[in-house]
């Protein structure tokens, strides 16, 4: 959210595979996914390839440079199913009940008002859809943000439930992250 990063960061790919994560959460052809805090598209661009021409990927981020870079990359890759918005997730609703998956990729701890972001996610997710929160484990480790701003799995689950979701699963996602899946 804060700085522009390349969409396909080779260093990050050493410890995080976006395609594997997206397939693991059930993303498939024809789905609509909203990537909140999409940055330069580390998840949004692979998602656009997975959902294909009949699917849609909405991306929301405050960093206009990252959004512009992702749009350029999508054009170069022939991806025409990305709908990108520069804005704060606390104030942005791109649709009502349109998303099969609302995805928050290692960003929930960054928002000024994570509860409001999750309330907006509830507005955007289909009644049959799901919210997926991928975030840093609250453990001392070299990569990632300072430990003090990270949310534990329990804190994330509590925020998600506070927005009206029902948490279905919480599991590890690689060495540094956890994955919370919830339904409306």
Q: Which two tokens stand for residue 39?
A: 């940055």
Strand partners, 134: 105, 179
Supply the DSSP string of 38-71, one letter for each residue. Answer: -TTSTTHHHHHHHH-TT-EEEEEES-HHHHHHHH
Nearest partner of 107 among 168, 67, 69, 151, judged by Cα: 151
At 85 the pLDDT is 97
If pLDDT is split at 50, 70 and 90, which confidence band does 36 have? very high
Class of the CATH-defined domain 10-183: alpha beta
At 142 the pLDDT is 87
Residue 73: pLDDT above 90?
yes
Regarding beta strands 99-105 and 32-36, do their DSSP bridges make them parallel or antiparallel, or are they unpaired? parallel
28-56 mean pLDDT: 97
| pLDDT per position as a tens digit, 119-154 | 999 999 999 999 999 999 999 998 999 999 999 999
Q: Which of 11-20, 65-74, 79-88, 100-109 has the lowest mean pLDDT?
A: 11-20
Residue 27: pLDDT above 70?
yes
Q: Among residues of the chain, what percentage have pLDDT more than 90?
A: 90
Q: Among residues of the chain, what percentage have pLDDT more than 70?
A: 96
How many Å is the Cα radius of gyration of the chain?
A: 15
At 3 the pLDDT is 43
| Cα–Cα distance, 125 to 127 (Å, whole number) | 6
Q: Hey, where are the domains in the chain?
A: 10-183
| Cα–Cα distance, 180 to 171 (Å, whole number) | 7
| Cα–Cα distance, 24 to 121 (Å, whole number) | 20
Q: Which two tokens stand for residue 71?
A: 């749009």
Structural element, H or E, at residue 23:
helix 18-24
């Amino acid at each position: 959210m804060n700085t522009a990063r390349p969409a396909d960061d080779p260093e990050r790919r050493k410890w995080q595979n976006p395609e594997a994560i997206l397939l693991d959460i059930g993303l498939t052809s024809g789905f609509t996914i909203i990537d909140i805090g999409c940055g330069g598209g580390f998840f949004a661009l692979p998602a656009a390839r997975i959902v294909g021409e009949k699917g849609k990927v909405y991306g929301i981020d405050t960093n206009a440079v990252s959004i512009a870079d992702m749009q350029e990359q999508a054009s170069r890759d022939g991806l025409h199913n990305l709908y990108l918005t520069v804005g704060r997730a606390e104030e942005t609703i791109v649709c009502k009940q349109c998303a099969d998956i609302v995805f928050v990729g290692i960003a929930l701890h960054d928002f000024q008002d994570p509860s409001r972001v999750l309330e907006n996610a509830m507005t955007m997710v289909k009644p049959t859809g799901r919210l997926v929160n991928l975030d840093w484990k609250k453990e001392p480790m070299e990569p990632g943000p300072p430990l003090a701003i990270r949310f534990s799995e329990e804190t994330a689950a509590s925020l998600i439930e506070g927005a009206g979701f029902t948490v279905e699963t919480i599991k590890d996602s690689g060495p540094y992250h956890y994955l919370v899946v919830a339904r409306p």
